[in-house]
Structure 1
Amino acid sequence: MKNDTLNSPKKSTSNSIVGAGVLAALAASLCCITPVLALLGGISGIAATFSWLEPFRPYLVGASVLVLGFAWYQKLKPQPTAQMDCACEKDEKPSFLQSKAFLGTVTALAVILLSFPYYSGAFFPKVSPATALTSPATTTVHANIYVAGMTCSGCEHSVNNALRQTPGVIAASSSYSTGMAQVTYDKSKVDLPKLAQKVTAETGYKVTRFEEVNQK
């Protein structure tokens, strides 16, 4: 009974440490997960909801790594001899929540969350508009749309998807590092202001300005 009382706070602390590591990993990836959830759920305008977390991402990633690293240290470090001498503790089988298998599962989940921005594009549909094959050069326009709030590749895919799904768009490519989306469209089927409105309505990111580009 005494040993159970002493170990209970220790187990609770261990679970709290592991939980903190997963929460940090989730928060670090939330700005990139939200656009995918918006797409899968068919919910427009929420992709940019957690973009404010992006400046904190390096700290959250570091916190997740440190916390889970400490949890593994606690799990793998040699146990004090005094504890090994107690037959009741030696025979006690740890619960799954206290096992290495559980910690390994949680660590794998954290890795999946932290690396999400690098494979988030797999969730977005590949679109090849038929417009690209039919639009004459006289109605084809190249333009730049400046989008505020993009912070990762997940944001890029969200903006690209909103543009490529629009009838009349031939091609679209965006970059979060430059804050700009480049789009080629058929002006007889859609205009630039409507494309800018489409980006804002579908993603929630703010379009600051847009312009046509002369192609040589």
Structure 2
Amino acid sequence: MNQSPSSADKPLVGAGLLAALAASLCCITPLLAIVGGLGGVASSFSWLEPFRPYFIALTVGVLGFAWYQKLKPRLADDCGCAVDAKPSVLQSKGFLGVVTVLAASLLAFPYYGARLYPTAPVPASAVATTGAAPVWQTVNYRIGGMTCDACAKHVEHAVQQLPGVQAVTVSYDQGTAQVRFDAAKSPAAQVAQAINGTGYHILPANAPR
């Protein structure tokens, strides 16, 4: 028996949603890592970034074809079987619409995901409670593995948790981080460890990104 068009839409919808998730998984993972306290897994799916354009094209193509199947006029006998008077929820246009909106939200995540990160804590006082003068250092790092602004926010959030950190600026576009900190509270090695602990990694000054 031939499969009805409504039944054939189910795998299309699932494939479109999975492709949309795969397209942005490299940027969703850093936020999930913070929520779950698993900083080291943040870069687990960064290898998917080069394939993002293909996943986007697959999502648009699959869901577009599903909408075409749903909206095209059909005769009662064009598949040799009776047309259901009332399709199930999973076969309805409303469900396909919800999936389409969800897929669009996933595809757009790299553009708004950075806004979902926790607010940066207020820097500690420049003078220690013991009265000892702070030992300020400003260090520039080159960071590999970041794929979007959400990745940069993840690195920034991790470093800001260290005591004595006054300012952190992380740029995804340039693949750099600048950290100003009190070395008496958090030595440079501890700052580097916090960056590497996110799953991204500090690169040598002359290494390619």
Indicate the residue corresponding to 2:112 in structure 1: 119
Unaligned runs of 5+ in 1: 211-216
Indicate the residue corresponding to 2:94 in structure 1: 101
> What displacement does 1:54 show?
0.4
**TM-score, normalised relative to structure 2:** 0.87
Q: Distance in 1 between matches of 2:134 and 2:36?
A: 38
Q: Distance in 2 between matches of 1:189 and 1:209?
A: 25
**TM-score, normalised relative to structure 1:** 0.84
Identity %: 49
> What displacement does 1:133 show?
4.8
Question: Counting helix residues as a fraction of each chain, which structure ranks higher?
Answer: 1
Q: Deviations over 1:170-208 (max 9, x none)?
A: 11121222111111112222222211111112x111112
**Structure 2 counterpart SS, 1:45:** helix
Q: Distance in 2 between matches of 1:132 and 1:179?
A: 29
Indicate the residue corresponding to 1:213 in structure 2: none
> What displacement does 1:43 show?
1.3
Check the 8 A contact 2:143/2:175 in 1, yes or no. Answer: yes
Check the 8 A contact 2:126/2:134 in 1, yes or no. Answer: no
Unaligned runs of 5+ in 2: none
**Structure 2 counterpart SS, 1:6:** coil
Count of residues in Structure 1 that have an aligned counterpart in Structure 2: 202
Q: Distance in 1 between matches of 2:46 and 2:97?
A: 29
Q: How does 1:26-41 map to 2 (within 5 A)?
A: 26-41=21-36
Q: How does 1:192-211 map to 2 (within 5 A)?
A: 192-201=188-197, 203-209=198-204
Q: Partner letter of residue 194 of structure 2?
A: K
Q: Partner letter of residue 75 of structure 1?
A: K
Compared with structure 1, are the counterparts of its residues 16 and 29 closer, same or farther at alpha carbon in structure 2 (3 Å cutoff)?
same
Q: Distance in 1 between matches of 2:57 and 2:133?
A: 50
> What displacement does 1:103 show?
0.3
Check the 8 A contact 2:127/2:133 in 1, yes or no. Answer: no
**Structure 2 counterpart SS, 1:131:** coil
